[in-house]
Structure 1
Amino acid sequence: MSGLVKAKKYDYKDSNLSLFGSDLERNVKKASAETEVAWTNAGANVGVQVWRIVKFKVTHWPTDDHGKFFTGDSYIILNTYKKPPSDELLYDVHFWIGKYSTQDEYGTAAYKTVELDTLLDDKPVQHREVQGYESDLFKTYFPAMTLMKGGADTGFRHVGPKEYQPRLLHFKGEKRKIFVKEVPLFRESLLSGDVFVLDKGLEIYQWNGSSCNKDEKFKALQYIQGLKSDRGGKANVETLDENDMSPGHKFYTHLPEGGKTPKAAKDSEVKATETVLLKVSDADGTLKCTEVARGKLSRDQLDTNDAFIVDSGAACYVWIGKGASPDERKKGMEFAHNYLMKTEHPFVPVTVIIEGKREEEGFKACFV
């Protein structure tokens, strides 16, 4: 069988993510990056661009699908912006790892992120994002995030009624922070506090829980309008309110009983913990990562000749000194990943910060 085979569930802790270092070199030649067709016009204009990794290749993700992610894939997201009054283009580049993405896929995403950074003259700030633990910055790029099971080849656009696989989508949140996630097709998946959309191809239901909020209702309606447009306006839509439905309503016949009752939603925010500072250095001839301090940190502890990992508990930063060696620069992300895998917060966002360049407020707050 050709192509990548998805793991049933990938446990990040099973891997040391070696692809984040030696095999994914930071100093990719700019000339090589310029031969990547997918990077044509990358960062040329203000806005968000998204690419998906398909069998080691970077492919464009349609603008209409921005914010939609398959949990079996990895993506690269570039945000290009300006800070008035300057006309200089600035960038944030993220690689997003789906829960069921293979190591080959997210390794390629990491490598290609570095390549894109090189193409843009090392101006972008690099970020690692893991499904369910996305940074606040990442979330601002999309009005809503939709998580779909499988890989993007599963498809969710322009499908016929016979080949379409029904999906139950869960809408939860408020205002601009509405998250959309595919859940099991069972009656037990329904929660009175939220909104659900049962998408059967040419038959679509919006189920409004008895205590859902107006933002969830509105976002579900917007989502359904997009589905109808994709299907040539032929889909029939029915909006239902839990309080007005009988137990024998037709809608419930599409959702058999037998699923697990959902647990209370897990808060993906990491509990506060003491800040940890680690140094990545090859000063003695061997590249290694060692702990420097815990608790209150001072900027005086950062050495321009090395790389450092700063872990706040809620986020992790890889600080690269101007005089850091090529190996220290290359291995910073890998050491950060391996370190996080041994903590109670392995999936927090990781951001690379180059000495003298733009720093995030979260990084600055780590020092007294």
Structure 2
Amino acid sequence: MALYPLLRPLIFSLDAERAHHLTLASLKALPTGRPLAPDPMLSIKVAGLQFPNPVGLAAGFDKNAEVFAQILRLGFGFAEVGTLTPLPQAGNSKPRLFRLAEDRAVINRMGFNNDGQAAALARLKARRRKGGIVGVNIGANKDSANRIADYAAGVTAMMGVADYLTVNISSPNTPGLRALQDKAALDELLAAVTEARGAGPPVFLKVAPDLDSSEIGDIVEVSMARRIDALIVSNTTISRPHLKSKHHGETGGLSGAPLKGLALQRLKNFRMAAGPSLPLIAAGGIENGVDAYDRIRAGASLIQIYSALVYQGPGLARSIASELKRLLRRDGFARLADAVGA
């Protein structure tokens, strides 16, 4: 892991998507081992699950549930696989993944490319013997005639192998998908999802950062009425703050450092709208322990990273966890849970 700064120029010489596939192949070559034991200071209970630490890997990295066991060995408290759709789909045309190195950012327009839920089931069934917290992020096929039915089918297919399920309606790369965040459509969707889930695992909802106050209020109201267990705030943005990279004009979702301020503000907005009862998971622009701590104090119980790994390498999860402990001690908190919303 300390070698990553030396390897990064070689990795960055490759097309971004090819480099990602090379990373997955390298992880597959590693032994799986055992997931982390709970850290007495960082372990936290959310939605009935005891997370060994709050640092998770966001969906999008391990789309087909191939390396989640290796990911957990890298110091992550949990891993989220997917997005998985009922049927396999190729996603959008290439190129569709861009590094904005000058901005420590990524733009993607992948389009839910994945091998389908059936292909991931066997790998996820096998992992039950090894433990660790693994969430499954589910989506709808691009050409589906009934996207709400796709989500319900995803819940039914994947709930037996998931510690939690994430309903992803906030990707900007499937046309019309974000319309499911509208109040009436969201209520219909979450009614179908919770009916399909029954007594199954917790269900989280992943939302976009590109929302106004009325939309935030509607999402919170519907989520609480439908007993959603947590909100993930937030997905990538379609907005474009000032960017230096030549790729700044590419369409798709922007993630990484430029999303930091917007994602933190949306987290605060959702915490204000939801009060203390609905758990929040922070994502977007988190690069270090200070960023993670800012999200914890703003009301997040867990955090997720992805784009920062591109620039900092596989040691980032352990680094964030270590820095979180230092900051908690500095401010007199004995446990992470005591700092949530402080």
Calculate the TM-score normalised by the size of structure 2. 0.26
Higher RCO, 1 vs 2 (CA within 8 Å, ≥6 residues apart): 2
Larger Rg: 1
Q: Name the structure where helix makes up a greater proportion of residues.
A: 2
Q: What is the TM-score with the length of structure 1 in the denominator?
A: 0.25
Query: Which structure shows the bigger proportion of residues in strand conformation?
Result: 1
